[in-house]
Every structure is written in C-alpha cells, then in structure tokens.
Amino acid sequence: MKVEAHGRMVNGQTDLYALPADEEEHARLDTQHVMLLTALDGQLYPDRKRVEAALAPTPDHVRQILDVGSGAGVWTIQMAYRYPHAEVIGVDLVLPAGDRPPPDNCRFEADDVSLGMSHYQSMFDLVHCRAISHGVPDMEAFLDDIADTVRPGGVIILVDGMMQLFREDKSLMDASESYFQKVLFHGYNALKARGSGVDTCLLLRRMMENNPKLKNLGYKEIFIPIGSWYDGDGTLEDRRKWHEMGELLRHDCHGFANALRPLLLGEGYKQEWVDEWLAEAHRELDENRIRGWAVWVYFWADREDHEIAPVDPPPSPRERATTEATGEVDSIDEVVSGLSETHLEENDKASLEERRARGDLVQLWLEHSEDDDEHDPNEHEADGPEPQEAEQEGKAVSSLVGAASSTEPVVSGLPTGNPENKEDAEGSAPIFAFSV
C-alpha cells in the first residue's frame, strides 16, 4: 500500500522508511544499481568465488536467494537470470512496478522485515541487503534475524552508502561547502528524529565479527567521485570507468536530493528553505562543482556450519513492538559512546593521520573504539558545548561519532523539526551515516 506525501508516493506501512516508493525513486535505484555494478567490474556481488560456491547446483535442494529491500527489483531479476537453477525472492515494503516481468524462478513479496524474519528460518543460500539501514531501528537484532534465514554454509552480503560527502583529499566535507551536503545533513537528522538506525551501519563490521552465527567476514570500501573530475590512473580504459561511475553517481544524487524532500517537509522544515537548498544542490550537481567523493561499503560473511543457540537471545523486533521500553541502555549506544578521538594514545596519532590519508574511514573509527564502562552515554546532553562550539567540534571525528551515538538528533545545537530560523537550520557541522 502506498500513500501520497508532499507530491511523492511513499509506503503506507511504516514511517521509519521515509524515502518514496514511486516510479521516480525506482528509476533512481536503477541508476544506483548500474553505478555499483560498474564499481564491482560488472559483478552483482563482491567475492565472486565465494558466492558461486554457495549457489552451485546440488541435488539435495533448490538453491534459494533472498534480496532484502529489493526496491525496483533489478538486482533480484538479474540474479534470477544468472542462476536459473535457483529460486530468487525479493522482499520490500512495496512491490515493484509490473512493467518489469520477472522470470519464472523469481518472485516478489511485500513485508516489513524489521519486524522479524522467523518465517524465513534457514531457507536461503544467499541473502543480499542493499541500502536498508535507515529503515531498520535495531541493526544488531536485524543482523541476527538475517543470519537465521541463511542455511549453514550460506553467505550474507550487506551494502550501504554513507550519508556524508568527502573532499577531494578524502577528508570530511562540511555542510557549508556544499548545498547537497547540507541536504544530507538535514536528511540525516530528520531520519534520526523518526527513530531510524541510519548510523548503526557504521558499526556493522564489529556486529558481524561479534555474531557467533557468522564467520569469514569480508569488507570492501569504495570511494566514488561525484561527476567526471577524477581520471583514475590516466589510461583511457580507467578514465572511462571512473567518469562513468561519477556521472551515474551525479544523477543518483539528483534523485536522492528530491527523495529527501517529503521527509524534510514532514519533519517541519519550512518549504521555502527546503526548496532553496534543493535548487542550489541541483545547480551544484548540474555544473559539476562538487569535487568530492561518496563512499559505499560492502560487508559479507558465511553462516556457521552448525547451529548456535545464543546464551541470552534478545527479544525480536516484533516482541519489542508489543512491549514497553525497559529503559536499558542500548548496546549500540554503549559501543558508540566509546568512539572518540580523545581516547587515542599519543603514539596512535601518526597511525590515525595515515589512515585518514588513505581514506580507510570505517576501519579507522572502528579500530579505535573501545567500550568505556564508566562513560555515561547521555553525558553529552548534560555537559555538551554551546552551539557555537559544537559547530567547530563538528569538524572533528569525535563529534561525528557523538552525533551518531546520540538518540536525539541535532541540527547546529537545535532539535530537528521546525527550527526557529534559517541560520540555525543551516547546520555547518559534517555528519556521517549510511544509505545515500
């Protein structure tokens, strides 16, 4: 079921997933798909040998593939053609349009997977999830659910894009440098205001490492230029590839900016502000003025070959939806509260700068994160800096992580939703999150 929201059609099942579910959005997702296909040199997934081994024909059972958050269905359908001996299922809140008939071994189902997936227990040899984090309130529980849908020896793949731009030198871009980054900034805060787990994907690698149901973790980080300014190694073939990816991403950014409009208006931003930001963002993209990068990250792992019963299994999202909050600190917040540049020893500074120079961003933040039992996860709310100081601190990695760990979204020191004036709503500090 779809409903109208500020000129676009959105899903009518949950407010958590805030992007549209109409033909315009599906066209954007098709562009995004071709971009990622190019980034992986024509492959539909990373680690080709591992996936092909998991999907090799067997007389024991029919191979099955699940595409979670299938969107327009292009990845789902292409996998069905590539593996005609397998059954491929695409699941999303809204079914794709009927103008793209799937092959006989492919079908689509409408379901809210954030409420639990026990009906898919141990069914699949491959589970693929692309850009779903901002529609999932508890990524740790969701990952555990996903692991339970995979047969022992099967493969899980998760891919997401950061909701943050990076400068040409791969340092964090400030919202004052780009209107498109400004739109991302406010979109991030609007998603947080709805209870989205948009930033929890930053910790996905650690979650997968700590999940006893998974093994052999793989990881790939891809920087993609916005536009055609980057030439790669200078050869004709490499330059063509990077220009193609950059142009596809630039078109994807146009569509993503428009897709955030209903969300921003729904969270109380004034229409004249939002329309001005979007107009300027489109102008930047049209004129190819953003010399920067977007980042996409792939994670994958094998399902353990034997069943493992958790020592203290958490309640499922469906159970949580029917009970009152316990008031306990969420495990994600406990982990994130320890992420701070100030926790680094002095002899780690050189390593930190070296990783910044390489652009190894997710690994950088995760490698230097340790739980601090004496740290109050709400301490930043009580003793936080003044708004002017917060804007300056927002340019450091520590304040970025603070923004991710906070359960209360912040726009330049003010709560999101109906800021008092345009200057306060500008939001100069960079933020990071997933799901571009």
Residue 91 has φ and ψ, to the nearest 5°, of -125, 130
pLDDT confidence tier of residue 423, bands split at 50, 70 and 90: low
d(CA 176, CA 428): 5
Topology annotation, domain 2-309: Rossmann fold (3.40.50)
Q: Percent of the chain beyond pLDDT 70?
A: 70
Whether 164 contacts 433, CB under 8 Å = yes
What is the tens place of the pLDDT at every residue in 399-408?
Answer: 333 344 443 4
- The helix (H) or strand (E) run that includes residue 426 is none
C-alpha to C-alpha distance for 403 and 192, rounded to whole angstroms: 10
CB–CB of 36/224 below 8 Å? no
pLDDT exceeds cutoff 50 at 411: no
**φ/ψ (deg, to 5) at 123:** -100, -30
The answer to whether residue 12 scores a pLDDT higher than 80 is no
pLDDT tens column, 340-358: 333 333 334 444 444 444 4
pLDDT at 18 over 90: no
β-partners of residue 299 are 158, 219
Cα gap 425→312, rounded to integer Å: 43
Least confident of 17-26, 87-96, 374-383: 374-383
Which range among 3-17, 24-38, 257-271, 406-420 shows the weakest confidence by mean pLDDT?
Answer: 406-420
Asked whether the predicted pLDDT for residue 138 surpasses 60, the reply is yes
The type of residue at 38 is: T
What ranges make up the beta strands (E) of 83-165? 87-92, 106-110, 124-130, 150-161
Judge whether 298 and 158 are in contact, CB under 8 Å.
yes
Query: Residue 393 has what pLDDT?
Result: 35
- CA angle, 181 then 223 then 171, to 5°: 55
Q: What is the pLDDT at residue 192?
A: 87
Confidence at residue 160, expressed as pLDDT on a 0 to 100 scale = 93
User: What is the Cα–Cα distance from 424 to 404, expressed in whole angstroms?
Assistant: 20
Return the domain boundaries, the chain.
Answer: 2-309
Interval 248-306: pLDDT, tens: 999 999 999 999 999 999 999 999 999 999 999 999 999 999 999 999 999 999 998 75
